Amino acid sequence: MEPGVFGIFRPVMMLPQGILDRLSAAQMRAIVAHEMCHVRRRDNLTFALHMLAETVFWFHPLVWFLRIRLIEERERACDEAVLQSGSEAEVYAEGILNVCKFYVESPLACVSGVTGSDLKQRIVRIMTEQLGSQLGLSRKLLLAVVAFIAVLVPVTLGFTHTTEIFAETKVQDAATAGVPEFEAATIKPNKADGNRRSFMYNETGMSMEGVPVQMMLKDTFNVTEDRILGVPNWAKTDRFDVEAKVSSDDAPKLAHLTREQRRFMLQSLLAERFNLKYHHETRELPVYTLMVAKGGARLKDAVVPEGEKQSGKMRSGVRMNGRGDFEGMNANMDVLCHVLSEQPELSHTIIDKTGLTGGYDFHLQWTPADSAPAGPDGNSASSESDSNKPSLFTALQEQLGLKLQLQKGPVDVIVIDHIDKPSPN
């Protein structure tokens, strides 16, 4: 075995018997100086800790890369210390070569010897006396600042992320505080012919007829279909009739709930009866951006009755007059984006970039996709049907002075981890 330092808390330097006959006195002093450097640096302790990390993260390639670098750096540091102490480079290099010639390197990585690391590179560095420069005060301060930032940045980001999650949880808790639970819910498969669907929130709870689970997911998360991933096929095709009611004591509370609170009640029902489990992710998806077209917007400012202005309760919303026809009444751009995203011609998230913040009255008419599909580029004027109505893209530009542009962007999506067919009533 080669000369080496054994132990961590009470290190012992062990020398092979007869080594003094094979090394000169100067070479022996250099080798001993090398080993004493390992003791001062506590290299055995450092490497023992790294071996522990290797045990825990056995399959991580970065751990093994660090192992090689640690061996290289510890030998390089000791070589530089020996040369700086006054040993001649040629004598020291020859001593290392003689140790390699007559002795076998220790098989234990946590035993500091003299023959570790790449031998050729070490000899070249020693003979050319490539010593690391001493750090002055300014460089030490710079290194300390960099180390401080390296620790501070991930800690700050983690704390900020935790704060955001905590704030989001508090907002969600506040929004759902006092929301009643369904006392009873009946869910039955719908086997009726046709495609009749109804989805209503009523004074006692909610009522659905012929509704697939995917439609329930769209409503409870208030997103388009493309933002709900991992939905099984049966959830898209199988239809259900749902009657869910709260207790008679909780029924009066429903009239004062927001739409978001109603959605939370539906989400609770899906979790209880369909065993819904999900999580959020950010994905790059096709999205439409709604922008003002060349020539400016053609929206009319909403006309609000004087009585509503004085009361502060101004009505707003949209009225659907059938496929390809709806009217906005004191509706903002968020409402318009939501209604447009539900149309088969689009079926993507729409991001408002119009800069319009008011409420507007408008009437939009177009030829639905199943009557006259849009052009291949999605934005050019398509052939008009017998009703002489343009495509949705053209109608937006001609009637409202707005345009849609397809692009990709980061979007928050709902990933369905698990969902089952409804449990028996």
φ/ψ bin of 7: left (φ > 0), alpha (ψ from -120 to 50), beta (otherwise): left
Instruction: For residues 113-132, give the mean pLDDT.
Output: 71
**Residue 77 in tokens:** 């540091």
Using the predicted structure, report yes or no on whether residue 314 has a pLDDT greater than 60: no
Instruction: For residues 290-308, give the mean pLDDT.
Output: 82
Q: What is the pTM of this model?
A: 0.48
Question: Are residues 23 and 43 located together in one domain of the fold?
Answer: yes
Which residues touch 318 (CB under 8 Å, ≥6 apart)? 326, 327, 328, 329, 331, 335, 339
Query: Which of 274, 307, 333 is the last residue in one of the domains?
Result: 274
Model confidence at 163, pLDDT cuts 50, 70, 90, reads low
Mean confidence (pLDDT) of the chain: 80
117 found inside a domain: yes
Query: Which of 240, 274, 308 is the last residue in one of the domains?
Result: 274
Question: Are residues 109 and 231 located together in one domain of the fold?
Answer: no
CA distance 161 to 63: 27
Model confidence at 188, pLDDT cuts 50, 70, 90, reads very high
349 found inside a domain: yes
Q: For position 87, what pLDDT does the model report?
A: 81
- Chain segment 99-121, per-residue pLDDT in tens: 777 776 665 655 666 666 677 77
424 found inside a domain: no
- In this structure, which amino acid lies at residue 299? L
400 found inside a domain: yes
187 found inside a domain: yes
348 found inside a domain: yes
106 vs 343 pLDDT, higher one: 343
**Residue 205 in tokens:** 């709870």
Q: How many domains does the chain have?
A: 4
Q: For position 135, what pLDDT does the model report?
A: 67
- Chain segment 61-100, per-residue pLDDT in tens: 888 888 888 888 888 888 888 888 878 888 888 887 877 7
Q: Which domain holds residue 139?
A: 135-177
425 found inside a domain: no
Question: If you write DSSP's letter for every residue of 172-199 in order, what string do you get?
Answer: HHHHHTTPPPPSEEEEEE---SS---EE
Q: For position 180, what pLDDT does the model report?
A: 86
Which residues touch 106 (CB under 8 Å, ≥6 apart)? 1, 2, 4, 113
Cβ distance 34 to 43 under 8 Å? Answer: no
Using the predicted structure, report yes or no on whether residue 277 has a pLDDT greater than 90: yes
